[in-house]
Structure 1
């Protein structure tokens, strides 16, 4: 049985290899906050959502829209999803608690497998019951296919047949085994035979016919005899034991996949519940065709910040077409880095099939996301900060493509402004020329002004808003770069009264 709730035509692998820049994405976009909120202290959900989101850049529009429709059903019927997830966990725990023992003899394997199968059957019946009662309220192609499969495969005759097989495999009337004599009169080709039910015959009961029987009776204290008999029985049951164990593994794999794929949607449900409590919007984004280089969003906010504070988080709006370079300047502590993070997280969420933190969000798809943020110097660095920045940039260049999105935050500021601006120009302009989407938050005035004066058709300029009294609104608005970042606004509150730092 296939689950197929994450992809239309194959199952989800929770052990997919994460992108090479996983650590940078986690740190720069503060994704741990998002994953922890979605997991709700469930480590397995944490693993699944992390894998699903960080590997999402390989998804196409068909996969994204498939997940969106499934998620829409999940958000409408969260208790059903939680019930199915709970059943999957019960099945996995049931198998885990069953133990073969020290010796893996066929008899012990059969007994253990029968106990597990009995529990599996009851849990499969629960899933069938959910399908019977709630299939009609689901409208997404993924869940319609899933419930249809359950009803077609888990029928009443199927359960009756399983019940009969499991009862026969307990061998309450003993096991009928045939064998042949091989070289040296050693037994070989041990085969378990099906026992035919005895037919009642009145005449045979009244006039019993004596038939010659060849029997070996083992004494009560004949340990060697019992061991020999057990070995013969185990040889005859070996194939059955293997087949039954494989059946257990097959059904277990179904429950394991069900748990993995539902974990993603359950994480989305948990996140939706949290944002409802904070009265913040989540919306289904619109993934655009790759040739449509449009970016439109309304009230896009940083969900990681919203999850860590009770304060209202300001959202931003943007509507641009055919732009690949976005240079963001403006006042210190004006919301530039927060804006950049909100954009990166929203793109990952969209491409994984989730709702995004905005009123609306339209964007093309990218096949990779990179971040290049300024790092604080620490003892692990083997060279200077600028060398470290250039080294990271080289690693990105080796992996970047024309369908990449890259977010720069205060990059190349480890040197003087003239040199940093020249480095930025020599790196950014060729990237944009290859059609790569670039967002660049910077205080390098020379760089920003020089790009503005070039009047590039691909370039778009944004600026952190600052009111005349110095107050930050945390809105990012269209605006040409200025020659100041208003650092004095931060300086004077500290030193205006003659305060000093010690």
Structure 2
């Protein structure tokens, strides 16, 4: 969508769309930093991907818009490859553009010709991009509209006409052998302004400057009426100073040479005197001509240069702004392609429009965990649903049984889905969230002033104030740094408040009593309910599978005690 002459395939322009930024701690808790490092080794690209993933909106139109673009990018690898090559070319042109050359000299005519060559390359890149996006297989609104946007830029900048003009200019420039200039002078014969009269395919003939100058001003019919050049005047060349009879004459008579060496004389007079290069007159001719042209054609070159830069900016600046967005999609497409080749499941998320169900996931798994697995067979899949009967989950289970893994997995699902990317599941239907808030254990150095419990309370209160019924809240062992009685009291009140706000929540905790009190807590809620979710164990073995069920309570403590040999019988025998 376009706004203020800028197009985006990630942030479609809707006036009422509101974005919220994930906190740094939430990004870390969800493992987004690990994911970004897996996608690319380039720190700039990592920062770009992180900024996109962490910028969330509950607007379903944005999620759908992104998803359709990603589907096109994923299923058309040839399009990805062509676009990547074009972006590399554009980036090269941008970095080494003549417009960024630094020099003490003014940028002259030959630099202008170089800029025209660059613009020709830009135009070719834009045309190639149009051809790529003309693929009939492209179905997404984003890419179809971007093709129209490129067409509009191409037309507005008159690139077709300019490309033709550049081609003709390059051909004709090979024939240029002389330039006719018109110089306006005042009563003291000081140059006051200059204009370009013609560009010629034949050189002027060398002649005597004094004779022709004298003839030109001595006879009335030699001073031309008006300012249209009729070809009657001869070419007057200024030779090397101190080596030509004309130069000696000027020196002996104290003429213009004296003027050039007098610091108090009007600079405009001295500016009309030009010294030719040393040697035989041909060495460094191009450099010399460029300096002369800089002085005499400065205004003409500047205007032409500004025009070229303007159209180069249309081709490069506008399109360069969207290259990072394409690279975001391309990096994810390449990553997911590789994962799918290994056998990992991915699917296109589907936005739910109704209010009864907020999420329905089948065979979801933790992508961060999957990255480090040697085999897809090691994965454990789970089903989970958010609806009015299951808006808040109190998740309990054995230590190291997978509670944090499933909690993190759900957060990752929402981030990827709303960022337009395929999600790790066999199916995923969801209602977008406006933001994801996490409350995981803080680093010890962050709890020095308030103590662990104080820090947890302050942080939870801030999160609760910000979250809405459209948010996702993930709590990991919150209020577990104190005694059970104190922690349970705070946790229970917090859950009651979350029920009132109707926030989608997974509360991973060892406080089984909190889950056991679900029925009591639900009596106070008129809108949504909480449920007990457990990580199942099979005869003491961790399955890493979750299900809605009553907490198993002390069996987990027994399991841990037996594993580490601290039951009474194991200790005394």
1:273 is aligned to 337
1:344 paired to 2:411:
yes
1:359 is aligned to 2:431: no
Q: Measure, in 2, the Cα distance between the counterparts of 1:9 and 1:176.
A: 53
Paired position in structure 1 for 2:29: 28
Query: Gaps (5+ residues) in structure 2?
Result: 203-228, 242-272, 277-287
2:461 to 385, 394, 413: 394
Do the aligned partners of residues 401 and 165 (structure 1) sit closer, same or farther apart at CA in structure 2, a change above 3 Å counting?
farther
After the TM superposition, which of the residue ranges 401-410 and 145-154 deviates more from structure 2? 145-154
Choose which of 469, 478, 484 in structure 2 pairs with 1:417: 484
Instruction: Quote the offset at 1:257 in angstroms.
Output: 2.9
Q: How does 1:297-336 map to 2 (within 5 A)?
A: 297-311=361-375, 312-322=378-388, 323-336=390-403
Tell me whether 1:481 sits opposite 2:551 in the alignment: yes
Deviation at residue 123 of structure 1 after TM alignment: 2.7
Cα separation, 2, equivalents of 1:491 and 1:144? 61
Give yes or no for contact 1:284–1:354 (8 Å, CA) kept in 2: yes
Residue of structure 2 equivalent to 1:490: 560
Is the CA contact (8 Å cut-off) linking 1:325 and 1:438 kept in structure 2?
Answer: yes
| 3-state DSSP of counterpart to 2:399 | coil
**1:466 aligned onto 2:532:** no
- Residue 408 of structure 1 and its aligned partner are, at CA, apart by 0.4
How far off is 1:404 after superposition? 1.6
The separation in 2 between residues aligned to 1:166 and 1:485, in whole angstroms, is: 85
**Aligned: 1:377 with 2:444:** yes
Could you state the TM-score of these two structures normalised by the residue count of structure 2? Answer: 0.74
- Provide the rounded CA distance (Å) in 1 between the counterparts of 2:74 and 2:301: 49
| CA positional deviation for 1:388 | 1.8
Paired position in structure 1 for 2:39 = 38
Q: 1:385 to 1:176 in 2, by over 3 A?
A: farther
Matches within 5 A, 1:201-240: 212-213=232-233, 217-220=237-240, 223-224=274-275, 230-240=294-304
Answer with 1 or 2: which has the greater Rg: 2
Greater shift after overlay, 184-193 or 489-498? 184-193
Counterpart CA distance in 2 for 1:182 and 1:292 is: 87
Deviates further, 167-176 or 145-154: 167-176
Query: For residues 309 and 283 of structure 1, do their structure 2 counterparts lie closer, same or farther at Cα, with a shift above 3 Å needed?
Result: same
Whether the aligned pair in 2 keeps the contact of 1:71 and 1:265 (CA below 8 Å) is: yes
Unpaired runs of 5+ residues, structure 1, are: 11-15, 199-208
Question: Do the aligned partners of residues 63 and 455 (structure 1) sit closer, same or farther apart at CA in structure 2, a change above 3 Å counting?
Answer: closer
Residue number in structure 2 paired with 1:205: none
| Structure 1 residue 70: Cα displacement | 1.8
Take 2:300 and 2:469, find their aligned partners in 1: how far apart are those partners? Answer: 63
Distance 2:198 2:232 in 1: 22
Q: Is contact 1:48-1:263 (8 Å) kept?
A: no
Indicate whether 1:453 and 2:453 are aligned. no
CA gap of 1:245–1:156, structure 2 versus 1, over 3 A, is closer
Residues 199-224 of structure 1, C-alpha deviations (whole Å, 9 max, x = no match): xxxxxxxxxx9854386533345754
Helix, strand or coil: the match of 2:442?
A: coil
Number of residue pairs matched?
479
Pick which of 426-435 and 285-294 moved more. Answer: 285-294
> Is the CA contact (8 Å cut-off) linking 2:362 and 2:382 kept in structure 1?
yes
1:414-450 superposed Cα distances (whole Å, 9 cap, x missing partner): 1111111111222232232122222111112343333
Inter-CA distance 292–17: structure 2 relative to 1 (3 Å threshold): closer
Contact 1:190 1:236 in 2 (8 A): no
Structure 2 residue corresponding to 1:119, chosen from 118, 121, 128:
121
Cα RMSD after superposing both structures = 3.6
Query: How far off its partner does 1:282 sit?
Result: 0.6
